[in-house]
Structure 1
Amino acid sequence: MTVQDMDAAYLARLYTEKAGPQDKEAKPVYGPSSVKDIVFSDGEARFGYAEIRSSGISMAMTDQPLLETLNALSAVSAPDELPPAERQAYFTRILSIIDMTKKADIEMLGLNMEVPAKDGDKGKKIKFATDRLAIQLDGQTLDATLNGLSMAEGESHFKISEAALSGFSWSPTFKALEQMVALDEQQLESFPFTTLLPEFGTVRLAGIDADLPGSVENGETSPSTAERVRFSLKEYEAALTKPRNGIPTDIRVSYQDLTVPVPANIEEKTLAELRKLGIDELVLSSSLEAAWDEAQQTLVIKEISTSLKDLAGFSFSGVMGGVSGDFFSGDEAKMRVALFGLTAREAELEIEDKGLAAKGLKAYAEQNGMTEDQARGMLTMTSSVVLQQFADEEPRLQDVVDAVSKFIAKPGTFTLTVKSKSPSGLGALELAVASQNPLLLLDRVDIEAVAE
C-alpha cells in the first residue's frame, strides 16, 4: 500500500481549529494512493481487487473545529425533540461535515468475486466481476463510471459493458435542507419538498446482454427446462436536467436496439402471430425528449417515438402553451390550478412502414388462398370505399383521406400535422368538450396530411 503527500498538519487543523481568513479554499489532505492485489478467501468464497487507487482528497475547514462538531452531535440523543433553533444547528453541523470533502476520487480495477451457489452444489459458483469502477467528487457534483460488469451462474449470465452517471449534484438538496431545518411544524406544511430533489444529471447504460432462467409455474417445468429469458440492449440514456424547484424541466430518455427473441413455441397470442409473419426477434428503439421554454411559457415535445427494426416506426411531436412556472413550483395547489391554463398549439404524427405491411399482406394472402397482388387490390379497394364514405360526410377531411388511401395502397411514410389557428392554442375546456366529438375542432385547426 502506498500513500503520498499526506498533510498531517492540515489534517490536525481540521480537527482542532476553525476556518480562518486564509482558509477559504480546500487543501489536499492526501495525495495519490494505491493498494494492489487485495484478496480475501475462506475456502468457499473468494473476493479480490487487482488495484484500488486514488489521486487524492481535498478538504475544506469549517466554521467550527471538526472535533467540537462531532462532540456536539454525539451529545444529542433525540434531535427531533430539540427546539427549532437547536435543531437547525444540529442538522447544520451534519451538513457541514458532509460538505467538507471538496475533491476526491477512487478507482477500483479488476474486481473478482466467487461465492457458492444457493442450491448447495459445491461445484457451482456465482461469479461477479467488474473491469473498472471510477467515482469522482467535485464539490457537490458526482460522476461515476462502471466498465465490464458481469454476473454468471452456470449457463446464466448478465453483462453490462458500461454504466455511467454524470452531472449528478446534491447542491439543490443541501440548499433546501438548510432552509427546511429552520422551519417549525406549521411552516413545514407549506414547504416545497420537491426542492429536496438533487439534480439527477445523465445516466447511460451500454452493451447489456442477459441470459437468465425463466419462471417455473405450477411445478410443470423444472428450472433447467423452463423457457429462458434472453435480451440485449445496445444503449440506454436518461437525462433529467435544468431543475426548477427540484423538478426537471429538460427531459431526454431513450434506448436503442432492445433485442428480444420470439420463441418458436410461444403461447402468447400476439407474439405467436409475429412468428407466423416470420419474425423470430424484435428489435425496439424508443425516445422521449421534451423541454420547457420559460420565455414562451411552452412545453416543447421534441419527440416521442418507438420503432421496430425492419417493421414499423411511430413518432409524435408537439407544442403545449400556457405552461407557467407554477407547474414547477412544487406547490400542489398551484400545479392543479395551472392545468386549466394549458393549451394545445400544434402536433405532428408520423407513421413509417419498414416492412410490416409487406409481411402482413403476405400472411393474409396465404391464409386466404390469394396471391399478394390480389390481396393488396382487395384491401386497397375496401379501405378506399370506407374512407371515401367518411370524406363524403366530412369534406374538410378529403385531403387527409386521400393521404391515408395513398399510404394504404403504397406504404411508406404518413405524416399528419395539426395546428391551432389561434396563436394561443386550444384550451383545456375546448378539448374536453371535443373529446366526445373531435370533428367539432375542425374549424379551429389547420390540418395537413402527406403520404410518401
Structure 2
Amino acid sequence: MIHRTGRAHPARAALASACLLALLAGTGIVSRPLPASAQEAASAVQDVTLSDVVLAFGTTRLEAPRLTVSGTHLSKDEIAAILRTDSPEPWAARLGRLNAASLTIPELRFVHAPKDGARQSVVYRDVAARDVRAGRIAELAAAGAAIAMTGVPGAPAEGTGTYGRIAARDLDLAALARLYGGTGERPADPKGAAAPALGPAQIVYSAFSVDDVIYTDGSGTTARLARLEGRDVGGRPIPGGWSGAVDRLTEIDPDRIGDAERAKAGAILADLIEGAFAGAVEARGFALSQIRPGRTAGRPDASEQPLLFEIARMSASMPRMEPGSPDAGASFGLEGLSFSQGATRGRLGRVALTGFSPASTAAALRRLSTEGKPGAEPKPDAKPAPVLGTLSIEDASLDLPVEEPAKPRGKPAPGRAAAVEDAVRRAAREKGAERGAAAQQPPAKIMRVGMRSAAMTFGPMRDGVPTTSRLSLSGITLPAASVSEVPGLGSLAAYGYGDLDLDATVDTAWDEGKREVSVREVSLSGRDMGSLRLSGTIGGIGPEMFDTDPAVSGLAMLSATAKSLDLTVQDGGLFDRFIAAQSKVLSLKPEELRQEYVTASVLGVPVILGNSPAARAIGAALGQFVTKPGRLSLSARTKDAAGLGIAEFGTAPSPGAVLDRLDVTAKAE
C-alpha cells in the first residue's frame, strides 16, 4: 500500500487533473523575455506561439515545450507579462486580462518534489482551452495524462498511473489562482481567537470530469476509477493557499506531534474544512486490487490471498458554509460496495450519510489552535464535534469461511501394510502437486451473516456528545450455531432454530437541564421467537458523565439514579420451544414442566422479593404468562421523585427492600 507520507501526492495529482490543470493552462507558464522589436500590435487579432516556457514556484515546476494562444488581441510581451513568475501583480489580476479564442498545449508537465525526497510528475497530453474571456475558460479538455511517483518514503518502488480524458466547463482561472495561491495572513483578533478564513466563496468551475483513472503503487496495489465528475465546485481563499495547506500538513509527523504542531494542524484543517464546497461530486466504477505473492503450506492464509475491493458509485454534496449561517448539511453515499479475499466476501448495497455538517468541528479546531496563546481565553469545551446527521445502511452481507475441526488419524498400520500406506500417501502428494495445491483442498464451509437495513441518527451535539440518538437494525440474519457461546443465546440451536432473523432498536435522549437520560426504547425481536421492549428514565446525568477522564466520569456515575422502568415481553413461540427442549432433558412431559414453572412463579418469586403486594403481583403475572404465553408487562416508578441511586441498589439488604421503594404494576395478557 502507499505510505502515509505519499498519500497526499495522488490527491495532489487528482486535483491537478480536474482543477489545477486549468491553472496550469493559464497560469502555469512563463516565457523568456522577448525583445521589444518583436512585440505585436495589441489591437490586432493574432496567434501567438511560445516555446520552452517554464514556471517554478516552491517545490513545484511546470513546463510546456509549446504553447499557442490563438485569436487574441494580446501581444507576446503582454502574454509574457501575464505569465511572469516574479511579477509583483497578483495572479488573479493578471489572469483577468487573458482573452483568447483558444489556448493549446500539446504537452504539459507538472513536477512536484517536496523536501522528503519524493518526486511526482504528471504529463498532460493535448491540453486545449476554448473561448477564454477575462481569465474564464468556457471549455477545457485534455486527451489524457500519465503520472509517476518515485522516492516516496516507505514505498518499495515507483508508482505509475494514467488518466483518460479530462474536461471542465466555465473554469475561472482568477478564482483558482486565489484559492491555490492563498491570500496572506489572517487578521489579528484582540481576544486571541482565530478569525474565519479570508475571502468570499467563489465557484471555480461549473462542471468537471475525469475518465479511466488507473494507478499502481510499488507494492502491486492497483486502483481504478471509471469516471469522476462534479458540478459547482469552488471554495474560499485561505492563508497560504490550498497547496500550501496540504504541504504544511504533510510536514507534520503524527507519531511525534506536540502541542504546537497539534494547534497548527487544527488551524490548517479548519481552513480546509471551511474552504471547499461542491454542489455534487460523483465517482463510478472504483476498484482496488492487491496481490500478495506469499503462500503457506496447504491452503493459503487469508491475509496472503488476492484482495479485491469495489464500489459501483460514490457521491457527495458539500454546500458552502457561510459564517454565522445555519449548517446547510452535507451528504455522502456509497452504492454497490463489495470486497473479496479468498473465501471471505462482503457486500453493502448502499451506505448514505445525510445531514452531516463539519462546521462545528471547524469552529472547535480553531479554538483548540489558540489555546495557550497570550490573551487567549481557555476553551474547556473545545471538542471537535461535527453534526453527524443520519447514517443508513442497506443490504449488508458477510461470508466467512469456517474451519472444520481436524479429524483424528487412525493408528498406523503394522509392518508391510505401513510401507504400502506411506507409498500411497507419497503418490497422492505428488499427483496433487502436479494439479496444484488448491485442487487438493476441499471447499471451505461458509457462514453467512446479513443485515437488511440499519439507521443511526444523532441529534445536536453538546460538548462532543449527541443529545439524542437512535440506532435501528433490521433483518440481522446469522446461523444459530454461531452464537452458541453467547450467554442467553447459546441454547437457541437446541430449541430448533437454524438461522436467526433479528431486529433491534436503541433510542435515547439527554436533557442537560433536567440532568436526565430518557431511554425511549431498547428492543430486541426475532422471527418465530418474540420481542422484548424496555424503556425508562435515569437521573443525575450531567456533562461530567461524558468526560474523557475515566476518574471524572466514574465518580459522576455514582450520582446516577433510576427513576422509572417499563418492560414488555411478547412471546412469539420461543417459550413453547424452551418448554419442549427442557422437558426432554428432564424426562418430563411438557405440561408437567410448565406446571412446575407456574408454581415457582406464583409461590417462589414473591418469597424472593419480600412477599409484598408488589411481589405477589409480579408472581401472579409471571404465572399467567407461563400458563398461556402472550404479553407480559411490568412497570416500576420510584416513590421518591429524585430516584433510586446506584449506591442504594448495592447496599440494600434484600430485593424486597428495593421493591418497597417502588410503585409496581404487573400484568399478563
**Fold in common (TM above 0.5):** yes
1:380 equivalenced with 2:598 (yes/no): yes
Q: Please tell me whether residue 184 in structure 1 is matched to residue 349 in structure 2.
A: no
1:161-310 correspondence runs (5 A): 161-184=349-372, 192=380, 195-215=383-403, 224=442, 226-262=444-480, 273-310=491-528
1:118 and 1:164, CA in 2 relative to 1: closer, same or farther beyond 3 A? farther
Asked if the contact 1:260–1:282 (Cα under 8 Å) also holds between the matched residues in 2, the reply is yes
> Which of these residues, 301, 312, 315, is aligned with residue 131 of structure 1?
312
Letter in 1 for 2:396: I
Counterpart for residue 150 of structure 1: 338
**Structure 2 counterpart of 1:53, one-letter code:** E
Distance 1:280 1:47, change over 3 A: same
Q: CA separation of 1:117/1:284 partners in 2, compared to 1, >3 Å: closer, same or farther?
A: farther
2:453 counterpart letter in structure 1: E
1:36-115 maps to which residues of 2 (within 5 A)? Answer: 36-38=211-213, 48-62=224-238, 64=239, 66=241, 92=267, 95-103=270-278, 105-112=280-287
Counterpart in the other structure of 1:446: 663
Q: Go from structure 1 to structure 2 and tell me whether the alpha carbon gap of 1:196 and 1:401 turns closer, same or farther (over 3 Å shift).
A: same
Partner of 2:414: none
1:3 and 2:168 are equivalent in the alignment: yes
Q: Could you give the per-residue CA deviations for residues 277-297 of structure 1, whole angstroms, max 9, x where no partner exists?
A: 221111222221110123433
Match of 2:81 in 1: none
Contact 1:245 1:330 in 2 (8 A): no
Summarize the Cα distance change of 1:303–1:82 in structure 2 as closer, same or farther, 3 Å threshold. closer
Q: SS of 1:31's equivalent?
A: strand
Native 8 Å contact 1:192 1:330 kept in 2? no
Shift of 1:173: 2.6
1:318-333 to 2 correspondences below 5 Å: 318-327=536-545
- Residue 237 of structure 2: SS of its match in structure 1? coil
Q: Aligned equivalents of 1:51 and 1:71: distance in 2? A: 25
Answering whether residue 598 of structure 2 is matched by residue 417 of structure 1, we say no
CA RMSD of aligned residues (A): 4.4
Q: Secondary structure at the match of 1:232?
A: strand
- Are the equivalent residues in 2 in contact too, given 1:199–1:246 (CA < 8 A)? no
Separation in 2 of the partners of 1:225 and 1:55? 48
Letter aligned with residue 321 of structure 1: G
Moved more, 229-238 or 172-181: 172-181
Give the stretch that moved more between structures: 417-426 or 148-157.
Answer: 148-157
Q: CA deviation at 1:197?
A: 3.7
The share of aligned pairs that are identical, in percent, is 24
Shift of 1:54: 0.7
1:196 partner SS:
coil
SS of the counterpart of 2:565?
strand
Paired residues of 1:53 and 1:106 also in contact (CA < 8 A): yes
Of the structure 1 ranges 321-330 and 231-240, higher mean CA displacement relative to structure 2 is found in: 321-330
Gaps of 5+ in 1: none
Classify the secondary structure of the residue corresponding to 2:460.
strand
How far did residue 16 of structure 1 move? 6.3
Quote the offset at 1:391 in angstroms: 7.4
1:168 and 1:48 map into 2 onto residues whose CA distance is: 28
- Mean Cα displacement is larger for which, 423-432 or 158-167? 423-432
**2 CA distance for matches of 1:94 and 1:398?**
62
- Quick one: distance in 2 between partners of 1:126 and 1:323? 46
The alpha-carbon deviation at position 306 of structure 1 amounts to 2.0
Distance, in Å, in 2 between the alignment partners of 1:195 and 1:205 is 27
**Structure 2 residue matching 1:349: 3-state secondary structure:** strand
C-alpha change, 1:396 and 1:230, in structure 2 (3 Å) is: closer
Tell me, in whole angstroms, the C-alpha distance in 2 between the residues paired with 1:418 and 1:198.
Answer: 37
Structure 1 contact 114–128 (Cα < 8 Å) conserved: yes
Q: Per the alignment, do residues 332 and 196 of structure 1 end up closer, same or farther by CA in structure 2, a change over 3 Å counting? A: farther
Contact 1:215 1:223 in 2 (8 A): no
SS in 2 for 1:145: strand
CA distance in 1, matches of 2:515, 2:271: 38
**Aligned pair in 2 of structure 1 residues 119, 275: CA closer, same or farther (>3 Å)?**
farther
What CA distance in whole angstroms lies between the structure 2 residues aligned with 1:360 and 1:380?
Answer: 14
1:349 aligned to which of 549, 563, 567 = 567
CA contact (8 A) 1:167 1:199 kept: yes
Structure 1 residues 114 and 375, CA gap change in structure 2 (3 angstroms): same
Q: Using a 3 Å threshold, how does the CA distance of structure 1 residues 202 and 380 change in structure 2: closer, same or farther? A: same
The DSSP-based 3-state class of the residue aligned with 1:178 is helix
The residue identity in structure 1 corresponding to 2:655 is: P
Quick check: 2:208–2:230 contact (8 Å CA) kept in 1? yes
Structure 2 unpaired stretches of 5+: 1-165, 188-197, 300-304, 322-328, 410-439
Q: CA deviation at 1:196?
A: 2.5
Q: Tell me by how many angstroms 1:244 deviates.
A: 0.9
Match of 2:616 in 1: 398
Mapping of 1:1-40 within 5 angstroms?
Answer: 1-14=166-179, 15=181, 17=183, 25-38=200-213
Counterpart-to-counterpart distance in 1, 2:547 and 2:267: 25
Distance 1:218 1:136, change over 3 A: farther
Cα pair distance change 1:47/1:182, threshold 3 Å: closer
| Residue equivalent to 2:348 | 160
Separation of aligned partners in 1, 2:257 and 2:289? 47
Per-residue CA distance 1:300-342 (angstroms, 9 max, x = gap): 0111222222113222211122333444576777655544443
Following TM superposition, by how much is the alpha carbon of 1:370 offset from its aligned partner in structure 2, in angstroms? 5.0
Contact 1:145–1:165 at 8 Å: present in 2 too?
Answer: yes
